Amino acid sequence: MSSSGVPVLHWNFGIGPITCHAWNKDRTQIAVSASSNEIHIFEFRNGEWQSVHTLSEHDLPVTGLDWGTKTNRIVSCSQDKNAFVWTFDKNVWKPELVLVRFNRAATYVKWSPLENKFAVGSGAKLVSVCYYEQENHWWVSKQIKKPIRSTVTCLDWHPNNVLLAVGSCDFKCRVFSAYVKEVDEKPSPNPWGQKMPFGQLMSEYTVGGWVHRVAFSPSGCRLAFVSHDSSVSFVDSTVVSSKKFSLKDSQKAQNLRTVHLPFTTVEWITENSIVAAGHDCSPVLFVVSQDILKEVCKLDVPSATKSSSVNSALQLFKNIDRNNAAEKVVVALKTLHQNRITQILPHSGTVGNVSKFTTCGTDGIVALWDLKVCYSNHPSLV
């Protein structure tokens, strides 16, 4: 049982605030980064997580991680302006430097669905789409620059392996073509557009804050993103295309303003449901019903013990003020996570029907959420 009263498995790896994490294919190993230049890989043995590898090629804090399930390769990026592709060989993770060509910190990285390329965002107002050049045996990149006007904060790939969603600090979420003729087959037309040369801007959406995370739905027809104005935004490309919008028509996303603190991460659970989390320290479920995005509930259930601890803390503050005496006060949040959630990742189930997902946060915890259990605590969802 978690401290919030929900049976949520959770682990503290003892390495400090976790900025990002990544799972291997069979979920027996996890890679985590804790605001340092090191990547820690843990393996589940004998009922507990044991440290098996530490990757320390980066010089500054690691900002992004992704573990390819098809190739078993890890890609990482860092504030040191570099990215590495790690290959496991003879019980050692060997790094290959990538020519990302940044003059600012790298901020986010993600493998494409086929894992024949990956994209890296940066503070240099651009995205590098990287692929392996067989002739020279190294990783090279092509860059998407215009019209991005600020730091790229997040990326996500369309299931077709070509389209790339980009969120940035200029209050924009954009969809670009990341077609690389050296490694990709010519893409077929889809609801996001017909012609897709590299770097082509397919769509652009404006929100009220910098974009923290962006995610394509399992079908690739829908796009969700969260921004610092405490909103969750939703786009359905089939609806947009049916209305024959053009880029000049200032396409608008459905923007759902919430009462919560800003979300920092979002993930599709099914084609019609989304989980978002952030500074409120609890995952929140949203659904798309009749093409309208609606908030359902928080998935973390407050417990009576947490509530009473807050009340007792308030009483202690009153006593301090009344008696002018110093007393030790410990205030715990009502949620399992005691600080900002930084990332959500699918854990179990299938694409389009996730049954379990994990969250990590700056409280140093990685939590495994079982949606069946969460639904049982909210009878209206069953």
The answer to whether position 4 is within a domain reads: no
The answer to whether position 217 is within a domain reads: yes
Residues 247 and 359 in one domain: yes
Please compute the mean of the pLDDT values over residues 336-348 and round it to a whole number. Answer: 97
Residues 131 and 271 in one domain: yes
Residues 142 and 259 in one domain: yes
Residue 73: CB partners within 8 Å, gap ≥ 6?
A: 67, 85, 86, 87, 88, 111, 115
CA atoms 74, 77, 78, 80: torsion sign? positive
Residue 1 has pLDDT above 70, yes or no: no
Please compute the mean of the pLDDT values over residues 75-82 and round it to a whole number. Answer: 98
The answer to whether position 38 is within a domain reads: yes
Residues 73 and 134 in one domain: yes
* The two three-digit tokens of residue 56, written as one number: 């320390």
7-16, 149-158, 305-314, range with the lowest pLDDT: 305-314
Residues 201 and 316 in one domain: no
Q: What tens digit of pLDDT does each residue of 80-102 get?
A: 999 999 999 999 999 999 999 99
Residues 141 and 258 in one domain: yes
| Closest residue by Cα to residue 179 from 125, 134, 112 | 112
Residue 378 has pLDDT above 90, yes or no: no
Q: Provide the β-strand partners of residue 84.
A: 76, 97
| Closest residue by Cα to residue 341 from 309, 375, 288, 299 | 299
Q: Provide the β-strand partners of residue 256.
A: 232
Confidence class for position 373, pLDDT limits 50, 70, 90: confident
Q: What tens digit of pLDDT does each residue of 179-229 get?
A: 999 999 999 999 999 999 999 999 999 999 999 999 999 999 999 999 999
Name the residue range of residue 313's domain: 301-334
The answer to whether position 178 is within a domain reads: yes
The residue that leads in pLDDT, 334 or 229, is: 229
Residues 180 and 309 in one domain: no
Split into its structural domains, the chain has a count of 2
Task: Quote the pLDDT of residue 238.
Answer: 87
pTM, rounded to two decimals: 0.89
Residue 306: CB partners within 8 Å, gap ≥ 6?
A: 3, 4, 332, 333, 334, 335
Residues 245 and 317 in one domain: no
Please compute the mean of the pLDDT values over residues 133-144 and round it to a whole number. Answer: 94
- Burial of residue 343, with CB atoms counted within 10 A of its CB: 0-12 exposed, 13-18 middle, 19 or more buried: buried
Residues 17 and 88 in one domain: yes
Residues 324 and 352 in one domain: no
The answer to whether position 182 is within a domain reads: yes
Is the distance from CB of 108 to CB of 83 less than 8 angstroms?
no
Is the distance from CB of 206 to CB of 171 less than 8 angstroms?
yes
Residue 36: CB partners within 8 Å, gap ≥ 6?
A: 15, 16, 61, 62
Q: Measure the CA–CA gap between 331 and 309, rounded to whole angstroms.
A: 7
Residues 212 and 307 in one domain: no
Domain with residue 141: its CATH number is 2.130.10.10
Helix ranges (DSSP H) in 89-233: none
Tell me which residue has tokens 């940066």.
122
The answer to whether position 382 is within a domain reads: no
Mean predicted lDDT score pLDDT of the chain: 89
In 58-170, DSSP assigns E strands to 62-67, 74-78, 83-89, 92-97, 106-111, 117-122, 127-133, 138-144, 152-157, 163-168
Task: Quote the pLDDT of residue 309.
Answer: 46
The answer to whether position 2 is within a domain reads: no
Residues 317 and 276 in one domain: no
